[in-house]
Amino acid sequence: MRTATDRALIRSRFLAVDVANVADVLDDLGHRHQALATDVTCVAGRERLAGWAFTISGAMSDTPGRDPLKAQACTQIGPDEVSVWQGNGSGVCYFGELVAIGMMQRGSPGAVLDGGVRDRKWLHELGFTTFSRYPAAVQTSGRWRVDAWQQPVTLPGASGQPVIIEPGDFVLGDDDGVMVIPAGIVDVVLEAAETMTDKEIDVRAAIRDGMTLADAMTEFGRI
C-alpha cells in the first residue's frame, strides 16, 4: 500500500517525462495497447496531466432531475487522483466548472473523459487540466447519469483495441495523447521512462554540438 507521500512523489516524477517515452517503455514491456483514442485531447488546463485513476462510469438516461450518484462519486476522489469517465453517451457534457471546483478542493488535478465537457474557459482559468473527446454545452440532467465508480472502465484505444482502466492505474497525458499505466508496473515504467528521458537529453546535446544523426544512432542506439 503506497502512502500519500509516495503517491504524490510518483506523480511529480511522471510530470517530468513525456507520454511518448512512456509509450515506448510500455511497448518494450509488451503492453502495446495502453494509449487512449487519438480524439481524446486536452481541452482545458495545462496540457500535462498525471495522476492515479479514479474511475467513474455512466450511461444515457431519461430519468428527470439531478444525478445523486455523480455527486457521491465526485466527493470520493482524493489527492493526486484523476477522474476517468467511461461515458457510454453522446452529445452531452459529463461535468463543468462547478464539479471541477469540488474535485479540485479534494486534491484532484484533472480529468479524462470519453465524452463531453463544458465551461472550458473556466476550467482553463482554474487550471483544471481536462482531456475529453469533444466540448458540449448540453447538460446531463434528464439525459445521462452516473451508475458506478471505482470499478474497471473501458475507453476506446488508439490502436483500435479498448483500454481497460482499473482504479489505481496511472494516467499520463500531454499534447501527444493519454497513456494508461497498469498499477502493477508503475514503478518499472517510471524508472525506465526517466532513464529514456535522460538519454534523450544527452542525444539532443550531442546533435546540437555537431554529431550527425547517423553517429548519434550508432552511439546511443534507438533514438
Q: Structurally, how many domains does the chain consist of?
A: 1
Q: How many CA atoms lie within 13 A of 151 on its CB side?
A: 9
Q: Give the residue ranges of the annotated binding site for Mg(2+).
A: 119
Is 196 a member of any domain?
no
* Rounded Cα distance, 180 and 178, in Å: 7
Instruction: Give the pLDDT of residue 13.
Output: 98
Q: Give the residue ranges of the annotated binding site.
A: 96-99, 118-119
* Rounded Cα distance, 40 and 67, in Å: 24
Q: How many CB atoms lie within 10 A of CB 191?
A: 12
Is 153 a member of any domain?
yes
Q: Give the residue ranges of the annotated binding site for substrate.
A: 96-99, 118
Instruction: Give the pLDDT of residue 179.
Output: 98
Give phi and psi for 41, each to the nearest 5. Answer: -130, 165
Comparing CA positions, the residue from 154, 172, 156, 180 lying closest to residue 57 is: 154
Instruction: Give the pLDDT of residue 57.
Output: 96
Instruction: Give the pLDDT of residue 18.
Output: 95
Q: Are 200 and 41 in contact (CB under 8 A)?
A: no
Domain that holds residue 79: 4-183
Is 204 a member of any domain?
no
Is 69 a member of any domain?
yes
Is 88 a member of any domain?
yes
Instruction: Give the pLDDT of residue 79.
Output: 98
Is 205 a member of any domain?
no
The list of the chain residues with pLDDT below 50 reads none
Is 219 a member of any domain?
no
Instruction: Give the pLDDT of residue 201.
Output: 73
Is 127 a member of any domain?
yes
Q: Are 166 and 152 in contact (CB under 8 A)?
A: yes
Instruction: Give the CATH number of the domain where residue 43 resides.
Output: 3.50.30.40
